Structure 1
Amino acid sequence: MKLDKLFQSLLLTSAIALLLGTPAKGEKVGEDVRETNKNIPQLSEIELPATSAIMLVQTPTNSPAQGDIIQVTGVQAKPTDKGVEIILQTTGGEQLQITNHSADNNFIADIPNAQLRLPSGEVFTFRSEKPITGITEITVTNLDAKTVRVTVTGEAGLPTVELFDSDEGLIFGFIPAATATQPQPEQPTTETPPETPSAEADEPIELVVTGEQDGYRVPNTSTVTRTDTPLRDIPQSIQIIPQEVLRDQRANITSALLNAPSVRNSAPTNFDALRLRVRGFVSTPTLNGFKESNVRVSNVGSELTGIERIEILQGPNSILFGASSPGGTVNFVTKQPLRDPFYFIEATVGSFNFYRGEVDLSGPLNESKKILYRLNASYRDQEFFTDFSRTTNLVIAPVVSFELGENTNLTIEGTYKTIDQDRYNLGLPAVGTIFPNPNGDIPRTRMTNEGKVGVTAARIEYRLEHKFSENWSLSNAFRYGNLVYDGDGINLGTRLLPDNRTLLRAFEDFDSQYSDYRLMTNIVGRFSTGSIKHQLLFGIDLGRLENSDNFTSRTGAPIDLFNPIYGQPPGAITSRGDTNTLTDELGILVQDQVTIADNLKLLLSGRFDTFTQTNRDFLSDTKTSQSGNAFSPRVGIVYQPIPPISLYANYSRSFEPAIGRAFDGSEFEPTRGTQYEVGVKADLNDSLSTTLAFYDITQSNVLTDDPDNIGFSIQTGEQRSQGIELSVAGEILPGWNIFASYAYNDARVTKDNSIPVGNRVLQTTPHAASLWTTYEIQQGDLQGLGFGLGLFYVGDRTGDTGNTFEVPSYLTTDAAIFYKRNGFRAALNIKNLFDVDYFENAFNRLRVSYGAPFTVQGTISFEF
């Protein structure tokens, strides 16, 4: 039923008067208005078939072209004298078409060619539980990429609905069934509308709006400040790799981090753990804001099962994590339960006998939706391009959340992971790979390691959040992680003989166990001092890490790189070890986010840390202890000359313990990192943003050889890292996404007694860049068909600390083609499309690792 312009005008003017009980602008108060109100049809009075539609048009000149997606930029709930209004806000008075699907107590309306999207570009859902008596729940969500669904559930029956348009957008007026059946009194003309038991005119309604990221641009994160703060208000360079990029690329951890050029994972293909450098400095990752004392505790291998996104926090972050790298931190964020049922199943097959299956299940466990769950699980069985190598990996990651009260939530999550690896890659000599070898090139499939590794890791974590009031809240989180790491017969090259084909090796068996305890408590409060607003954070962190290492080293059997004979017995024992290390940490932090004006924000924070480490050697029956402390400040400022532009600057410091003693017996002080950073963040449009950063980091108190006492160290070393970072992420046009970055990094030794001053830091490169872009057809017979293209460039890298050789630069190309429709998705991903022969990394002249050749993976998934 299409409303003409005159009827629409009457409907709009009169319905507002009826709902609000006050005359609309431009109308006289009197009988004429009341008479008009009596003639307004309600949806309950209109006979509509199951898929009928009503077209509301504000002004024909603002009507979008057929098929265009209208952005609903906000949803508001307002109580009225008889019920509640739901306003779907649009930006230009665009057309909205309503399709009715009401049944039983549920009013259900679909709005095609529309999408819920904040002005920042983030897709969201809206929910209000029991906003008034007689209404159980109101939800507004994206049914699919181009349809918004409004659902209102009545307690006693189907709510009566009044529908009209306005300058704000489309308005639904809901009256509970019990109220709707009563005779409606004629509205007084000059008096306040009578009160009803259903709602008061100023009654607050509790609203729940949840971000549901559906794009390459992520506008918010809580990790950097431990508060929910938009990225544009944080004086720090931050890059977030969202779930959509990880899915489109079929990424594992190693390939995902190629999207962040300031991050280098120096671990080779099929290695069992990460070896990260950020802005040139070695870095240990974090998980949900918890420091990972040992990377394998929760991020076994390269799996991303249960991971929602990856956050790159550039620069020193000791204010958040205590002891940490001055270059930056890679934080992994896990998936959380969803309120609505969600079921996902996926299967992938690929080159080198790659087989993987994954499930992702979520939803409520009770009718009130106060208990939610999520279960992620995967199993992977794959071989690699290197000889005899094979990995199996099982991951189970459950999460359950409880709404304990109106202001209290508890989330419990865990992870169980196992990994079994046969002959993981430890690299090949530089002679025969990077450099010529008289015997020819060493095949990139060659494997020098004959050992096996088995890892079992478990983690359990809880997060308790409570709001004392609108302005004050408390959060408490605890995590326990346990890991058992067992290596059997690991062979590592120690020397290449003059014949350039015989590699001497060391043989090692080891057994390591880690237990990690972390407790984090935060109190956040908002208050004002005059016109200046404050968001104050007080936090306490406790940590305990216990690790035990037992190993036996032997002389390994030599191997011929061009005619290997495997299975030769090892030689005599060269060393043994049986140690235990216990580290206790305490950190106290205070932070104030100050809003001086709407466009001027200041971040002030400081943290004090103290640690004690006790080492026991059971073979020598000795025990040593060392303690230390450090203060880490951070100061940042953000100025926004216009809303889309944020200019920022920060000063921050970090520390890392330096365990050991000098020749005179004195304990080493922690190494210190100091950074100065300036940058600009810009929203190019509602869904596309960019960040440009300039930084200068100095790491001091670095251990170096004591020139006067051989075998001892002193803390006179220093390293400096300077660079530029540029990143762009988001949607250029509907269906066309981009995720691109460039990093220039000059990391050099500035003071040292053994490494020449001026040398580049090991494994760093001056230039690195990435570009990943996808396009998905938005309409027509080919709607849902998409294409992806990726370019990843890594410049020359230093191959050893002495800078005696370089690992050559490379450029690889990835491609993807995918199709999705109604929850079904099929994809074909190609990595190293042109089969470029390149080197991933080098640890030294005996450990250079080839990159993977042309690889294809096909994936089929169902979401319902």
Structure 2
Amino acid sequence: MKYKTTFLPVLSFSFISCFAWGDDMTVLETIKVHAEASSEHDLQKNTAATKFSHDVLDVPFNRAFIDSETLKQQDAQRIDDVLTLVSGVFHQNNYGGGFWDNYSFRGFSSDPSLGAAIIRNGLSVNRGISAPKDMVNIQSLDFLKGPAAALYGRGETGGLLNINSKKPLWQSESEINLSTNTFEQYRFSAEHTAPLNDEIAYRFAIAHENNQSFRDHVSSERWFFSPQLSWKISDQTQLDFDSEFTQHMGTFDRGVSTLHQQFVMDPKTFTGEPSDGDMRVKDHFFQLRLNHALNDVWRFKTAISYKDAQMVGYSTEPRRIQADGQTLERQRRYRDYQSEDVLWQNELLGTVDQNWARHELLVATELGQLDFKQYQLRRNHSTGYLNTIDIYQPIYGVYAPELAAFTNTQERQRYAAINLQDQIFFNDQWSILIGNRYDYIQQNFENHLNAKQDKQNLQRNSPRVGINFKISDQASIYSNYGHSFAMNSGINRLGETFAPEQGQSYELGGKYRLNEASLVSMALFKIKKQNVLTTDPIDSNFQTTAGEVSSQGIEFDLNSQLTDQWTIAATYSLTDAKIEKDQDLAKGARLSNIPKHQASLSSQYEWLLHGTQRAGIGANIIHVGERSGHNLDNGFNLPSYTLTNLNAYYSPSEQLRYQLNLNNVFDEKYYVSSYSELWVQPGEPLNASVSAQFKF
């Protein structure tokens, strides 16, 4: 590849140059950066994009930030609840009505068999099955755009979500949250943190949900528990232990089906089988982190993570509508998917001052192993009858066909990586970031149904470069370019493993700071990717890789605090994501669930009533444009929609807060995402939620 001969010498030169220049030049005194990543996260600071704490104007990448106050105002119970407030991030099929988090950045999503990839506190976390993240452990969200995501090795060149989790504190704090919804959704959460002594602090959080739905026979239940511990071994060293235990149970729900691509079903109608019982997702996560300051400018970090997850249960799913226009043929499945992953990461971060520039250096390594087992029983037809249901007057419990083995596979990935990065500050205006990630992966795949095996060894370099020019303390412009690399899990209909995804990203953008609490950003981007997984047009039971897909567009974000009481936020994205070339799919075919236009406008006004009494009101308007509703872009579209949501809160003291949220105020009928014209997830109609927060 061409970049190997041009990029790597530049990278080597930047490291060597740190020590090669003489002492006869003047040291630049205007640049102030730190090797230690700040624990603070806000609109004006950026740590996750480069691993160093920076003013947002000093980083040559784009990023959207959702703070804890916004999460609270929106009464966010899932990450899904705030996606429409971020430009260029869109809902994707979340697997049977919410069994994992799934979304796309700039038109591209992660592996469709595993849901969205996520990083946590600036560290990669384990691959494999993941239950939807619980908000009781989330402080804020960083949506990293473009090639900055390649720093974490997940390979998604469109972007990546970083979760900033809550951590133990050295002062005692407790919080209880209660909420209820007009759809009979009930949630309880409690969290407590305190020090054991001057060196050790702990935190634990627990949450429970019992949720009904506006859809008939659809419900879910969830338990979440998280113990954490922090130990200040010395002034230079801290050891942190994090763990999360999630049990998510619910009805597997493919949504509604269309007839001749027209929406004819009542959005409430469930076409599965209530007798199938709950699908269950178990997700256990453990992480041990050690941070050690070697001196004032160099810091070493190491982390060991372990993740064990399982998805198991029955489902009955739409397959085809018969010619009479009301009889729906169904398939029945039993799934038992298991994943186990261990990951070891090391990072060395530091700064080197030279007469001509300052270097911020990162050397990072990863070593891990992922095991992914898929066992599935399935039947479309049973001898002597069809498994059918009337979409207008469903009668349940008539059919329960026996199931035959359909999938029995085991995949193992062993991976190692090294990541090098140098951000060079020439003066208080110009900086350049160059980096390269090298990945080595062994993939072994066994199909126990036919005793076939397939394996491959892969090596890839993923370079990235960014240039930033800080025009003033209020404005900057930047440009970046990067490669991406990601493994594709599974096999095709011929029993072969897939080639990995590879991508290239270009971006040009600018940022303007209106004041210390306000920021405007705009970005133009173009991305190309090869070997993206999509449904096989010959056999829809399998996947295949598209030859090349592309996405290009514009993103605009405004966050402004107009007064001490009044804030507004606005976003807009234009995204054109499509097939460029493929042997089976037409050139120009759109990627599914990607609206060409999406926009949001939010406003919040708060005031002090008397003493510590506070109150606030807010609203947001969200528009999502028309988009392809089928993974093969067969002409089926999800219609555009516009939602209006209102919120209000009253806090009689610093310890109490009561909140009311009205969602979909005008009761618009809309559809969030789909996989095909038979699997469409309808959005929630008008509903209200009330919550109370107690701090002590």
Query: TM-score range with shorter-chain normalisation?
Result: 0.7 to 0.9
Shift of 1:302: 5.7
Distance 1:784 1:790 in 2: 21
Q: Residues 296, 333 of structure 1: CA spacing in aligned structure 2 closer, same or farther, 3 A cutoff?
A: farther
Please state whether the residue corresponding to 1:777 is helix, strand or coil: strand
Contact (CA 8 Å) 2:174, 2:192: kept in 1 or not? Answer: yes
TM-score, with length taken from structure 1: 0.71
Give the RMSD, CA atoms, in angstroms.
2.9
Distance 1:707 1:560 in 2: 28
- Which of 247, 256, 260 is the matching residue for 1:428? 256
Query: Corresponding residue for 2:33?
Result: none
Deviations 1:724-766 (A, max 9, x none): 1111224221021223211110111111122211121111111
- Which of 221, 230, 249 is the matching residue for 1:401? 230
Distance 1:705 1:792 in 2: 30
Alignment of 1:508 with 2:333, yes or no, is yes
- Which of 66, 76, 81 is the matching residue for 1:255? 81
Please state whether the residue corresponding to 1:254 is helix, strand or coil: helix
Alignment of 1:647 with 2:477, yes or no, is yes
Query: Corresponding residue for 1:610?
Result: 440
Alignment of 1:534 with 2:363, yes or no, is no
- Which of 226, 239, 254 is the matching residue for 2:64? 239
Deviations 1:630-683 (A, max 9, x none): 100010011111111111110111012356899999986433211110111111
Percentage of identical aligned residues: 27
Distance 1:680 1:448 in 2: 49
Matches within 5 A, 1:731-770: 731-770=561-600
Please state whether the residue corresponding to 1:733 is helix, strand or coil: coil
Alignment of 1:688 with 2:518, yes or no, is yes
- Which of 373, 389, 399 is the matching residue for 1:569? 399
Q: Residues 503, 666 of structure 1: CA spacing in aligned structure 2 closer, same or farther, 3 A cutoff?
A: closer
Contact (CA 8 Å) 1:630, 1:670: kept in 2 or not? Answer: no
**565-574 vs 325-334, which moves further:** 565-574
Distance 2:622 2:52 in 1: 34
Matches within 5 A, 1:33-112: none
The aligned amino acid for 1:426 is: R
The aligned amino acid for 2:268 is: T
Distance 2:72 2:534 in 1: 44
Q: Residues 376, 772 of structure 1: CA spacing in aligned structure 2 closer, same or farther, 3 A cutoff?
A: farther
Please state whether the residue corresponding to 1:598 is helix, strand or coil: coil
Alignment of 1:221 with 2:66, yes or no, is no
Query: Corresponding residue for 1:92?
Result: none
Deviations 1:200-245 (A, max 9, x none): xxxxxxxx998666xxx52223222122233221111111111111
Query: Corresponding residue for 2:680?
Result: 848
Contact (CA 8 Å) 2:452, 2:495: kept in 1 or not? Answer: no
Q: Residues 479, 340 of structure 1: CA spacing in aligned structure 2 closer, same or farther, 3 A cutoff?
A: same
Distance 1:534 1:254 in 2: 38
Distance 2:458 2:100 in 1: 29
Shift of 1:259: 1.2
Query: Corresponding residue for 1:831?
Result: 663
Distance 1:459 1:285 in 2: 15
Alignment of 1:579 with 2:405, yes or no, is no
Contact (CA 8 Å) 1:514, 1:548: kept in 2 or not? Answer: yes
Matches within 5 A, 1:549-568: 549-555=374-380, 557-568=387-398
Query: Corresponding residue for 2:158?
Result: 327
- Which of 244, 266, 276 is the matching residue for 2:103? 276
Query: Corresponding residue for 1:73?
Result: none
Shift of 1:254: 1.1
Matches within 5 A, 1:270-669: 270-283=97-110, 284-288=116-120, 289-291=122-124, 294=127, 296-297=129-130, 300-301=131-132, 303-317=134-148, 319-366=150-197, 368=198, 370-421=199-250, 423-431=251-259, 435=262, 441-450=264-273, 451=276, 452-488=278-314, 490-555=315-380, 557-658=387-488, 669=499
**Structure 2: 5+ residue stretches without partners:** 1-35, 111-115, 382-386
Distance 2:37 2:307 in 1: 33
Please state whether the residue corresponding to 1:316 is helix, strand or coil: helix
Distance 1:387 1:840 in 2: 18
Distance 1:745 1:528 in 2: 41
Q: Residues 260, 530 of structure 1: CA spacing in aligned structure 2 closer, same or farther, 3 A cutoff?
A: same
Distance 2:322 2:544 in 1: 34
Contact (CA 8 Å) 1:318, 1:655: kept in 2 or not? Answer: no
Contact (CA 8 Å) 1:317, 1:325: kept in 2 or not? Answer: no
Distance 1:414 1:742 in 2: 37
Q: Residues 318, 542 of structure 1: CA spacing in aligned structure 2 closer, same or farther, 3 A cutoff?
A: farther
Q: Residues 431, 707 of structure 1: CA spacing in aligned structure 2 closer, same or farther, 3 A cutoff?
A: closer
Shift of 1:485: 1.2
Distance 1:790 1:705 in 2: 36
Contact (CA 8 Å) 1:265, 1:274: kept in 2 or not? Answer: no
Shift of 1:464: 0.5
Contact (CA 8 Å) 1:765, 1:794: kept in 2 or not? Answer: yes
Q: Residues 270, 737 of structure 1: CA spacing in aligned structure 2 closer, same or farther, 3 A cutoff?
A: farther
Alignment of 1:822 with 2:654, yes or no, is yes
The aligned amino acid for 1:256 is: V
Contact (CA 8 Å) 2:44, 2:517: kept in 1 or not? Answer: no
Greater RCO structure (CA 8 Å; 6+ sep):
2
Deviations 1:309-355 (A, max 9, x none): 12111123463222422211122221111222211111111111111
Please state whether the residue corresponding to 1:449 is helix, strand or coil: coil
Q: Residues 778, 318 of structure 1: CA spacing in aligned structure 2 closer, same or farther, 3 A cutoff?
A: closer
Shift of 1:308: 1.2
Deviations 1:500-538 (A, max 9, x none): 111111101111111111111000121122131011110
Contact (CA 8 Å) 2:129, 2:310: kept in 1 or not? Answer: no
Matches within 5 A, 1:690-709: 690-702=520-532
**Structure 1: 5+ residue stretches without partners:** 1-207
Which entry has the higher C-alpha Rg, 1 or 2?
1
Please state whether the residue corresponding to 2:150 is helix, strand or coil: helix
Please state whether the residue corresponding to 2:135 is helix, strand or coil: coil
Distance 1:805 1:227 in 2: 45
Q: Residues 242, 425 of structure 1: CA spacing in aligned structure 2 closer, same or farther, 3 A cutoff?
A: same
Deviations 1:265-287 (A, max 9, x none): 22369421122211111123213
Shift of 1:798: 0.5
The aligned amino acid for 1:815 is: L
Contact (CA 8 Å) 2:97, 2:255: kept in 1 or not? Answer: no
The aligned amino acid for 1:277 is: S
Shift of 1:803: 3.7
Distance 2:340 2:533 in 1: 28
Distance 1:290 1:474 in 2: 13
TM-score, with length taken from structure 2: 0.87
Q: Residues 277, 292 of structure 1: CA spacing in aligned structure 2 closer, same or farther, 3 A cutoff?
A: farther
Contact (CA 8 Å) 1:274, 1:295: kept in 2 or not? Answer: no
Aligned residues, how many?
A: 644
Query: Corresponding residue for 1:676?
Result: 506
Contact (CA 8 Å) 1:704, 1:754: kept in 2 or not? Answer: no
Please state whether the residue corresponding to 1:428 is helix, strand or coil: coil
Q: Residues 597, 424 of structure 1: CA spacing in aligned structure 2 closer, same or farther, 3 A cutoff?
A: same
The aligned amino acid for 1:640 is: K
**568-577 vs 796-805, which moves further:** 568-577
Contact (CA 8 Å) 2:514, 2:560: kept in 1 or not? Answer: no
Distance 1:659 1:467 in 2: 38
